[in-house]
C-alpha cells in the first residue's frame, strides 16, 4: 500500500513484514503454488515469485512498477535472479511495464497459463503430480535447490531489504509515490 509508505515508521515495518513473508513462503518445507488471476503487480508479483509453482490465468498482467515510484524491487530480485535470465530481469525492472501471462511463461516467471475457468484444474494437476512423490525427498530437494546458490535466500533478502529501505527514504521515492497518489506523472530531477 503506497499510502502507508508516506509514514517512515509504517514503511519500514511494512517492508520488514514483506521480507519475512517472502522468506516464509520460500523457506517452508511445503511446496507452494501461486494461482494468479487478474493482475499481480509489485508486492503481488513478489509473493508469486517466492512460490515454487505459478499458474496464471490467460489475460493476467504481471509487473514490477517500483522504479516508476522511485522505489527498488529489491526483495523480489532475490527470487527473480534465481528464476530468470539477467536480460529479462533488467527489462522487467528497468521498464516497470506489465507483461502478459504468456510472456511471463516464456521467460520462466510462470510455469503454466490456463483459461480462467480452468485455472483450478491446472493447479490440481500440479498438486496431484507433487503428491505422488515422497515427502522427505521433496523437502530435501527443495532444501538442496536453496543450498546450491552461492548465497542463501535469507542473505539475499537481508541485502535487498537494505537497498529497498534506502530507496524508500529517497527524494525520488517521495516524488514517485506522491505522483502516483495524486494520479500525475512524476517530475524527476
Which grid coordinates belong to 88?
529479462
- 65 touches 39 (CB < 8 A): no
- The set of residues, in sequence order, having a beta carbon less than 8 Å from that of 74 and lying 6+ positions away, is 159, 160, 161, 162, 163, 164, 167
Candidates 4, 16, 66, 122; catalytic one: 66
Q: What whole-number distance in Å separates Cα of residue 104 and Cα of residue 60?
A: 10
Annotation says 66 is catalytic: yes
Cell numbers for 81, please give them: 535472479
Q: Report the catalytic residues.
A: 66
Amino acid at each position: 500500500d503506497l499510502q502507508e509508505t508516506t509514514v517512515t515508521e509504517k514503511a519500514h515495518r511494512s517492508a520488514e513484514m514483506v521480507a519475512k513473508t517472502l522468506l516464509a513462503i520460500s523457506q517452508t518445507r511445503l511446496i507452494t503454488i501461486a494461482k494468479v488471476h487478474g493482475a499481480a503487480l509489485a508486492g503481488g508479483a513478489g509473493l508469486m515469485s517466492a512460490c515454487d509453482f505459478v499458474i496464471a490465468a490467460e489475460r493476467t498482467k504481471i509487473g514490477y512498477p517500483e522504479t516508476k515510484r522511485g522505489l527498488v524491487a529489491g526483495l523480489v530480485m532475490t527470487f527473480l535472479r534465481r528464476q530468470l535470465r539477467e536480460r529479462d530481469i533488467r527489462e522487467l525492472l528497468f521498464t516497470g511495464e506489465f507483461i502478459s501471462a504468456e510472456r511471463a511463461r516464456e521467460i520462466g516467471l510462470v510455469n503454466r497459463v490456463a483459461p480462467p475457468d480452468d485455472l483450478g484444474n491446472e493447479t490440481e494437476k500440479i498438486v496431484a503430480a507433487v503428491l505422488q512423490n515422497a515427502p522427505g525427498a521433496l523437502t530435501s530437494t527443495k532444501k538442496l535447490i536453496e543450498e546450491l546458490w552461492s548465497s542463501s535466500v535469507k542473505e539475499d533478502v537481508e541485502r535487498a531489504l537494505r537497498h529497498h529501505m534506502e530507496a524508500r527514504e529517497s527524494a525520488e521515492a517521495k516524488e514517485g509515490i506522491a505522483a502516483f497518489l495524486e494520479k500525475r506523472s512524476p517530475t524527476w530531477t
